[in-house]
Structure 1
């Protein structure tokens, strides 16, 4: 009985580790998943979030917005304006090239041989959102693409936490 519980606990731990995809976190390497922000001028930043394959486009866009709000709040701003926004798919390919295989096998009462050919290759698509934002006194209190940073963070914090942030 204890062995069954132990095996179930190990399986549960492995499954939970697999289920936790890329979280809201900084991107460490150049092609890593996560957020980046760059100061462009005294009041403009480029903010981006790159998701893992399997992460929904909407989630990637929400994480980028959340990061923009983070940048604004960390710089003492109550609001920010998005001057430009772009979400792009990034597709990578792996295991390309044709391959052949020959095999045989046996087992009572059957035996056989096989020849196979594969064109190989698989593609994975992930999304990246890039925002150029403006913070500071020049940002109007209301308007198109103007966000209250604190309110946006409050509204998206549950979604960010649920997706691993």
Structure 2
């Protein structure tokens, strides 16, 4: 019975990880948005997604957080002073008979009196699958302003951004 409960708990945890990062604050090990106040009207913000969150979503969530932060602080518009999107890609190998120690598929093993058990791999016939995993993190430094939005392509009306992007925001379940 105990094994069944542990298995069910493990599956529940893994099931929660199999979705893109929702729009949320990054607390502890969870991914999401963070912000740092630099001056009264200047912030550094970022949004980090998991490997299931695409680049467009990460950048959308960053802009939405910038507009929310602007309105929360009593401002009308924000100007993006500096902006970047970082990409981290990993390639992972998997396959039948893969050894966690050697990094190769082990199909044949033999014992050598001096070195112990050894595996042999065939790079032409071993069945190895590769999976690529990419995560994105968008960051920006923004300057908040009041009144009419400046005629600048890097300036955004906070309420317009929230209105236009609001339908694309996916919040965590139960939150």
Same-fold status (TM-score > 0.5)? yes
Q: Which residue of 2 aligns with 1:40?
A: 38
For residues 35 and 73 of structure 1, the distance between their equivalents in structure 2, rounded to whole angstroms, comes to: 16
Q: Whose helix fraction is larger, Structure 1's or Structure 2's?
A: 1
CA RMSD of aligned residues (A): 3.4
Contact 2:59-2:138 within 8 A present in 1 as well: yes
Which consecutive residues of structure 2, in runs of 5 or more, have no partner in the other structure? 1-11, 93-99, 109-119
Q: Which residue of 1 aligns with 2:60?
A: 62
Q: Whose strand fraction is larger, Structure 1's or Structure 2's?
A: 1
Query: Cα deviation per residue 1:85-139 (whole Å; 9 max; x = unaligned)?
Result: 1011023466785144448xxxxxxxxxxx8657787552111100100003498
TM-score, scaled relative to structure 2: 0.65
Which residue, 149, 163, 174 being the options, matches 1:154? Answer: 163
Change (3 A) 1:68 1:121: same
Note the C-alpha offset of 1:162.
8.2
TM-score, scaled relative to structure 1: 0.68
Which consecutive residues of structure 1, in runs of 5 or more, have no partner in the other structure? 1-12, 104-114
Which residue, 121, 125, 145 being the options, matches 1:136? Answer: 145
3-state SS of 1:67 partner: helix
Change (3 A) 1:75 1:162: closer
Change (3 A) 1:19 1:100: closer
3-state SS of 2:169 partner: helix
Q: Which residue of 2 aligns with 1:28?
A: 27
Number of residues of Structure 1 aligned to a counterpart in Structure 2 = 140
For residues 132 and 36 of structure 2, the distance between their equivalents in structure 1, rounded to whole angstroms, comes to: 30
Q: Which residue of 1 aligns with 2:103?
A: 98
Q: Which residue of 1 aligns with 2:69?
A: 71
Change (3 A) 1:38 1:137: same
3-state SS of 1:98 partner: coil
For residues 47 and 160 of structure 2, the distance between their equivalents in structure 1, rounded to whole angstroms, comes to: 20
Change (3 A) 1:140 1:52: same
Contact 1:96-1:120 within 8 A present in 2 as well: no
